[in-house]
């Protein structure tokens, strides 16, 4: 359930992270970090049926510790410990789950999460709408195919369970059954509710009438008129908020990407309001590519009670956030690049310092040092007298665009021969102008500010 990453895979990862971080920063987020392990009691009772997937560290005669399962619970603990009332933060780090790995689908036991959260008391649905906007911006920028964001509200689910006759004690366990509707048929889910979880068949049927519905703002309006659901205070609050949310999503220009889906339940215990999950509609089946069953690529929701669980006075800090499922995204991007046989550069070297004759190692060392000091990404081969052909070949293999060639004549004339690897054109550049010329050709800003 773990893996090593080759330089090629890391280059792909860095590109993906870059897109995500740029988006988080565009929306004004600060960055934090927290320890990779927490007190076991911090994580216990926050994840519903998934609590069994937490990695506990061996008891070594001190505090009982567990590896973090996500970045949300440590964030809530951080807010409570530091008595923070509001922050907009992102956090990118590894989390750990004793899950059944499915490597091809990007499911691992150690994996990265990229989280963005807004904590604080604000007017309803404005931060929630921004989180959905961020999700859509990132998924569109990564060009991984068409996606849809399913939206629901925990209060609507709880209200629906209440009017259908689900006993309070069974809310959470029935919730996690409903959450499986994206992977199982209604019949299978109903059998689990009735057979394994002891729910009355007629109650399951009433739930079935609701959870098989999905649509846009018109479905929200239809349910606001629903004689039973609209009588439930919780569900009514949730529906009114969703109506407002859809207004903001329309203003953000993303309402066409959003579907109100009553089967979306998100198994985690800490959600209290709006919940959402982005799924890929169907993967790009371009020439020779296998259609990929990757499913969910981002998710999140509102959790207004979590910080209060860690605060000695029970002080609540409302929060809403999202998590990008980068491992699944990496799988898709990697497979696409393999199918296209696209070459991925694994270094950023701008120029190789080479020599055309023997006995020029000292000159190469002097020049490469000058370039490094000027902020140029440069390399040289670790040989006293490398053949020019070998040096040029190295550039082709590594994708280095330029070669600065030193020869005896060039030294006498005070110039360096600058060669473009792709066009093979060569020009003599005065040594004092070399740095500017390399920056100009590789699009690097002229000053390192």
* pLDDT tens-digit series, residues 332-352: 888 888 888 878 899 999 999
* DSSP-assigned letters across all residues of 266-316: -S-TT--SEEEEEEESS----TTPPPP---EEEEEEE-SSHHHHHSTT---
pLDDT recorded at residue 302: 97
Which residues make beta-bridge pairs with 38? 66
* pLDDT tens-digit series, residues 311-333: 999 899 999 999 998 988 988 88
User: Strand, helix or coil at 28?
Assistant: coil
Strand pairing category for 147-153 and 274-280: antiparallel
Q: Please answer whether residues 272 and 305 qualify as being in contact, where contact means their C-beta atoms are separated by less than 8 angstroms.
A: yes
Q: Please answer whether residues 90 and 114 qualify as being in contact, where contact means their C-beta atoms are separated by less than 8 angstroms.
A: yes
* Confidence grade of residue 294 (pLDDT, cut at 50, 70, 90): low
pTM of the model: 0.88
**HEC-encoded secondary structure of 414-433:** CEEEEEECCCCCEEEEEHHH
For the cut 70, the answer to whether the pLDDT of residue 449 exceeds it is no
Annotated binding site: 70-72, 97, 113, 117, 266, 270-271
The residue-averaged pLDDT of 375-380 equals: 97
pLDDT recorded at residue 287: 46
CA distance 70 to 353: 46
Strand pairing category for 65-67 and 37-39: antiparallel
* pLDDT tens-digit series, residues 172-198: 888 888 888 888 889 999 999 999 999
Domains and CATH numbers, the chain: 7-340 (3.30.930.10), 351-442 (3.40.50.800)
Residue 449: count of CB within 10 angstroms of its CB: 4
For the cut 70, the answer to whether the pLDDT of residue 168 exceeds it is yes
Annotated binding site for L-histidine: 70-72, 97, 113, 117, 266, 270-271
CA distance 275 to 251: 20
Would you tell me the crossing angle of helices 154-164 and 171-178 to the nearest 10 degrees?
Answer: 110
Strand pairing category for 402-406 and 65-67: unpaired
For the cut 60, the answer to whether the pLDDT of residue 262 exceeds it is yes
Identify which has the larger pLDDT, 44 or 238. 238
pLDDT recorded at residue 290: 45
* Confidence grade of residue 267 (pLDDT, cut at 50, 70, 90): low
CA distance 391 to 396: 9
pLDDT recorded at residue 341: 80
Identify which has the larger pLDDT, 408 or 45. 408
């Amino acid at each position: 359930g773990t893996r090593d990453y080759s330089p090629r895979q890391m280059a792909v990862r860095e590109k993906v992270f870059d897109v995500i971080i740029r988006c988080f920063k565009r929306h004004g987020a600060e960055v934090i970090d927290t320890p990779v392990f927490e007190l076991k009691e911090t994580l216990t009772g926050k994840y519903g049926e998934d609590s069994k997937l937490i990695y506990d560290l061996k008891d070594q005669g001190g505090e009982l510790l567990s590896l973090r399962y996500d970045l949300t619970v440590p964030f809530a603990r951080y807010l409570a410990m530091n008595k923070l009332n509001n922050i907009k933060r992102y956090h990118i780090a590894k989390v750990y789950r004793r899950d059944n790995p499915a490597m091809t689908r990007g499911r691992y036991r150690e994996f990265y999460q990229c989280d963005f959260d807004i904590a604080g008391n604000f007017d309803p649905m404005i931060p929630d709408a921004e989180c959905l906007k961020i999700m859509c911006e990132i998924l569109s920028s990564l060009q991984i195919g068409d996606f849809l964001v399913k939206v629901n509200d925990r209060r609507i689910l709880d209200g629906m369970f209440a009017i259908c006759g689900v006993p309070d004690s069974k809310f959470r366990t029935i919730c996690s059954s409903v959450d499986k509707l994206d992977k199982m048929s209604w019949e299978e889910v109903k059998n689990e509710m009735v057979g394994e979880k002891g729910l009355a068949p007629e109650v399951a049927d009433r739930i079935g009438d609701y959870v098989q519905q999905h649509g846009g703002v018109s479905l929200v309006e239809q349910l606001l008129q629903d004689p039973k659901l609209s009588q439930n205070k919780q569900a009514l609050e949730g529906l009114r908020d969703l109506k407002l949310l859809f207004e903001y999503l329309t203003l953000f220009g993303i309402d066409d990407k959003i579907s109100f889906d009553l089967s979306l339940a998100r198994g985690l215990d800490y959600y209290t309001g709006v919940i959402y999950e982005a799924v890929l509609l169907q993967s790009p089946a371009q020439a020779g590519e296998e259609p990929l069953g990757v499913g969910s690529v981002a998710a999140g929701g509102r959790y207004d009670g979590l910080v209060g669980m860690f605060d000695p006075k029970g002080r609540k800090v409302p929060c809403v956030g999202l998590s990008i499922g980068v491992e699944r995204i990496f799988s898709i991007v990697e497979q696409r690049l393999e199918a296209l046989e696209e070459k991925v550069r694994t270094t950023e070297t701008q120029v190789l310092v080479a020599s055309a004759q023997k006995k020029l190692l000292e000159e190469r060392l002097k020049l490469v040092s000058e370039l490094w000091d000027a902020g140029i990404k440069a390399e040289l081969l670790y040989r006293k007298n490398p053949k020019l052909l070998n040096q040029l070949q190295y550039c082709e293999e590594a994708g280095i665009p330029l070669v600065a060639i030193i020869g005896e004549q060039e030294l006498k004339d005070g110039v360096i021969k600058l060669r473009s690897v792709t066009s093979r054109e060569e020009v003599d550049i005065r040594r004092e102008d070399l740095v500017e010329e390399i920056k100009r050709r590789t699009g690097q800003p002229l000053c390192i500010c």
